[in-house]
Chains A and B, each alone.
Chain A
Amino acid sequence: MEQFKTLSYDVLQVGETFVSDTKLVTPEDVEAYAFAVDDHHPWFLEDSPFGGPIAHPTILANQALHLRHSRYIVRAGLHAKMEFEFLEPIRPGMRARSRGTVVDKYERRGKPYMVTEYVTEAEDGTVLVRGRFTQMLFRD
C-alpha cells in the first residue's frame, strides 16, 4: 500500500525511483490522442511502414511525466525541459510502463526544480522511449 505525501522540494530525494502502472495502448487511446493534438497522420489510424498502425511517438509521455504521482500528491507544477529518444514504435495493443529516477533537484532564482530520467518499455522489456525531464515545483 502506497503512503502518499504532498510533494515538496524538501521531501523529494535525489535517487528516488518511480514505476508507473502498466498501460494497454488501445486504438481508442490513439484516436483520443490524435484529437487532442490534432494530428491525424494515416500511420496512426491505418497502416505504417512498421506494419500496421502505430501510435504517436509521444503518446506515453504523460505516463512518464506523472511518475511522481505514483507516490506524491502534486497540486501544480510547470514543465521546464523535455528530452526524448524514440527507439522503437509504440503500437496499439502493446502494454507499456515507465520507470524513472530523480537524478537532480536544484533551486534557481528562488524556484525549486526536479530532474527525472526515465524509460518507457514494452512488456517484453523492449525500450520504446528514453527521456529526461525537468519540472518546476510550486511552493504553497
Chain B
Amino acid sequence: MSTIAADTAAPGVALPPLVKEISQRKIDVYSGVKPYSIHTDEAWARKKGFRAPLAQAMMSTAYVSELMTRFVGSGFVKGGAMSMVFIKPVYVGDRLTVHGVVKERQAEGSATRVIVDVWCENQDGEKTAVGTASGLIR
C-alpha cells in the first residue's frame, strides 16, 4: 500500500483507499453470535425487513480508524477524532471501499490537526457512511 505524508498533505489529496470484504464470520466475531440479532440471526434480520444480516455500523468506524492510523499514525490514536453518519445498511457479502480526502489543516497549539473527509462505498458505488476524521501532527 502506498502512503501519503500527513505532515505535508494538502487539501484535496486522496488517501490510499482500503477495501473490506464483509463476511458473516467477521460480523459474528465483531458482534457476537446471538439470537434476535439483525447482525447474526438471518431469520431475525429478514423479519425486521432486511434482505440479509447487516454488518454493525460500528465496523465502518473501525475501517476509518485504520485509514486514519495509517495516515496520521500516533496522532490519531491519541488526539484523533471521528464523526460519522450511517446512511445505508452494509450487508454480509458486500465489498466496501473506504475513502479519505484531506479537507483542511488547522493549527492546534503547537500541533496541526489534519481533517479528512471520509466515506465508505459499497460495490454498487453507493455511500454507506460519510463523515470526517482528524488527527494531530505533532
Q: Which residues of A contact B (CB under 8 A)?
A: 32-33, 35-39, 41, 43, 48-50, 54, 56-58, 61-62, 65, 75-76, 78-89, 138
A79 to B38, CA, bound (A): 12
Tell me if B81 and A85 are in contact (CB < 8 A): yes
Q: Name the residue of chain A whose CB is nearest to the CB of B132.
A: A83
Q: How far is the CB of B75 from chain A (nearest CB, A)?
A: 10
Tell me if A79 and B48 are in contact (CB < 8 A): no
Pick from A32, A57, A138: contact of B77, CB under 8 Å = A57
Given the known inter-chain contacts A35-B26, A50-B74, A57-B76, please indicate yes or no for A82 contacting B82, CB distance below 8 A: yes
Tell whether B56 is near chain A: CB-to-CB under 8 Å: yes
Tell whether B70 is near chain A: CB-to-CB under 8 Å: yes
Tell me if A83 and B62 are in contact (CB < 8 A): no
Q: Which residues of B contact A54 (CB under 8 A)?
A: 77
Q: A37-B30, A39-B63, A86-B80 are in contact. List 11 more A-B contacts (CB 8 A).
A: A35-B29, A37-B20, A41-B69, A48-B77, A57-B80, A58-B58, A61-B61, A82-B82, A86-B77, A86-B82, A88-B78
Q: Name the residue of chain A whose CB is nearest to the CB of B38.
A: A76
Tell me if B29 and A86 are in contact (CB < 8 A): no
A89 to B81, CA, bound (A): 13
Tell whether B59 is near chain A: CB-to-CB under 8 Å: yes
Question: Could you say which interface size class chain B belongs to?
Answer: 35 or more
Q: Which residues of B contact A43 (CB under 8 A)?
A: 69, 77
Tell me if B57 and A84 are in contact (CB < 8 A): no
Pick from B20, B31, B78: contact of A38, CB under 8 Å = B20
Tell me if B58 and A84 are in contact (CB < 8 A): no
Q: Which residues of B contact A81 (CB under 8 A)?
A: 83-86
Given the known inter-chain contacts A35-B26, A41-B66, please indicate yes or no for A89 contacting B77, CB distance below 8 A: yes
Q: How far is the CB of A5 from chain B (nearest CB, A)?
A: 16
CB-defined A-B contacts under 8 Å, sample of 17: A33-B62, A37-B59, A37-B62, A38-B26, A41-B69, A58-B61, A62-B31, A76-B37, A79-B57, A81-B83, A81-B84, A81-B86, A85-B80, A86-B76, A86-B79, A87-B78, A89-B78
Q: How far is the CB of A35 from chain B (nearest CB, A)?
A: 6
Q: Which residues of B contact A39 (CB under 8 A)?
A: 62-63, 65-66
A38 to B37, CA, bound (A): 22
Most buried by B among A35, A57, A89: A57
Q: Which residues of B contact A48 (CB under 8 A)?
A: 74, 77
Q: Which residues of A contact B80 (CB under 8 A)?
A: 57, 84-86
